Structure 1
């Protein structure tokens, strides 16, 4: 197995969906096949956008692309994709993070390897890029952002966890997902539009998976919605969803009183868009929620709306 860097351009001719599939030509078949079962890092080239290295995932399988001679699909292992908390530039202190992109004296190369869409990546360089994008002490950073958190102390040293163990550790992934989703919506609830903070300044908005990880959902921002606690609860129980137009909020009218709708949702009944269009909920994730959750889950007990 081998780790790779995969170039991704949002508007390229290839049908990439970073948390699901990577589309590539025969030229890179050998390298991508060698990477099956191992980790890759996504990179957005400078001319395509400002993100640089922006996410990590694991390749589960490689298949020919149906109907396209000479094209192949790398299927991303479900639950492995994770966006970086901090985008990482190709250069650090003027030197490439990938040794393959550096001259003998450490200065950046021009052309050649830098233009390859698939590049092999040594384990040490993979670990360094991940450490920059997903700091080892991310959980502590998040807990301390708005003041000391339970169980965290400023003088304590962060626990050092091997990089791959960290990428598969659910609590770590939950923190990374929550931070990216809330940031994507500017800490506002995507349905009510409200930005609420507690007395210490901590955002009250939560990060909801549209398709749960347990149901093959990913930790992509496009599988998330920033929601208030009440709306998150309603969304998970199928009381609300989002229509096929990806913006109209659907309400299970036989379960949610009209006055509750008026208090919780905007008058136009539309979903608030994230700051960047690339972070908008994926239509397929919303379709899955409509077909598998909306209006189909039974309440454990009659809902009480009196406190709203």
Structure 2
């Protein structure tokens, strides 16, 4: 069963949305029904922004919270943040069928009290997720995101363009497809870093509108790293190669660490001075997480 999970940054619950959702006893039944299926996360109205769905993920298990009797964690995998928030109500129409069915919309707020976890219909999920990935799926962005015919395999091309796919099945296929997830991740990283390499400061856009910069995961996906901006950094191809091999890293103050004896001197001249920070997004909420950087530094230090 698919569901909507409400969450907020200042929540008292022990949430780490990309990996776990903390919930009280009354939601155990509905959350158990979600295991193996997809959910969307909804944020409240805050900081001048409207109520909106902002990400999706797949519930893989329910794990007890041994510190709080009756409380549990829904373990989340395949987390994917939307390209942009999806309004919960647009042009007078709610995105959730249960809310659309209400005769008196003034009672919506009352109805949602005590329903921070609630069922979501399949077609509503498909429409929300499709709207959330609208930039990634826009044909105008295919070349710069690597989803053009020259860069995708036949299976991915079919998911994107075969009209025989049912909408609900197509969306789920997109959410687990590596090429499409990489495109979403690249879009988010390029936007956060203004298409500029964090290490060299280089910003190059080719004739087709594709940035030279690459989206690097700090903790690789195959090692459990999520597709989140906080687990990523924009790097030129050379810096990306060095970063993936732990020949460069980033310290607690976001300064560059360089393996002195394993990098040619001519390459070191490309880097930002080590006493200065690497280039970071304007929004500090998008900076690389020190949790992921610590993992990367540990391997850097072992060389």
What interval of TM-score do these two structures reach, taking the shorter chain for normalisation? 0.7 to 0.9
Other-structure match for 1:86: 84
Other-structure match for 1:256: 263
Structure having the higher helix fraction is 2
What SS does structure 1 have at the residue aligned with 2:9? coil
CA contact (8 A) 1:97 1:129 kept: yes
Q: How far apart are residue 86 of structure 1 and its match?
A: 2.6
1:89-146: per-residue Cα shift (whole Å, max 9, x none)?
1112221101222354595743123343212101111111111112497173422569
Other-structure match for 1:306: none
Q: How far apart are residue 76 of structure 1 and its match?
A: 1.1
CA distance in 2, matches of 1:164, 1:27: 28
CA contact (8 A) 2:144 2:208 kept: no
The reply to whether residue 118 of structure 1 matches residue 117 of structure 2 is: yes
* Structure 2: gaps (5+ residues): 152-159
Other-structure match for 2:74: 74
Which of 98, 101, 104 is 1:100 aligned to? 98
Other-structure match for 2:233: 225
1:271-298: per-residue Cα shift (whole Å, max 9, x none)?
2222323222222211221223x2557x
The TM-score, its normalising length taken from structure 1, stands at: 0.83
Give me the CA root mean square deviation. 2.7
Other-structure match for 1:170: 178
Other-structure match for 2:276: 269
* Structure 1: gaps (5+ residues): 298-308
CA distance in 2, matches of 1:9, 1:31: 20
CA contact (8 A) 1:4 1:35 kept: yes
CA contact (8 A) 2:83 2:136 kept: no
Q: How far apart are residue 150 of structure 1 and its match?
A: 5.1
CA contact (8 A) 1:6 1:118 kept: yes
Q: How far apart are residue 200 of structure 1 and its match?
A: 4.0
What SS does structure 1 have at the residue aligned with 2:161? coil
CA contact (8 A) 1:19 1:81 kept: yes
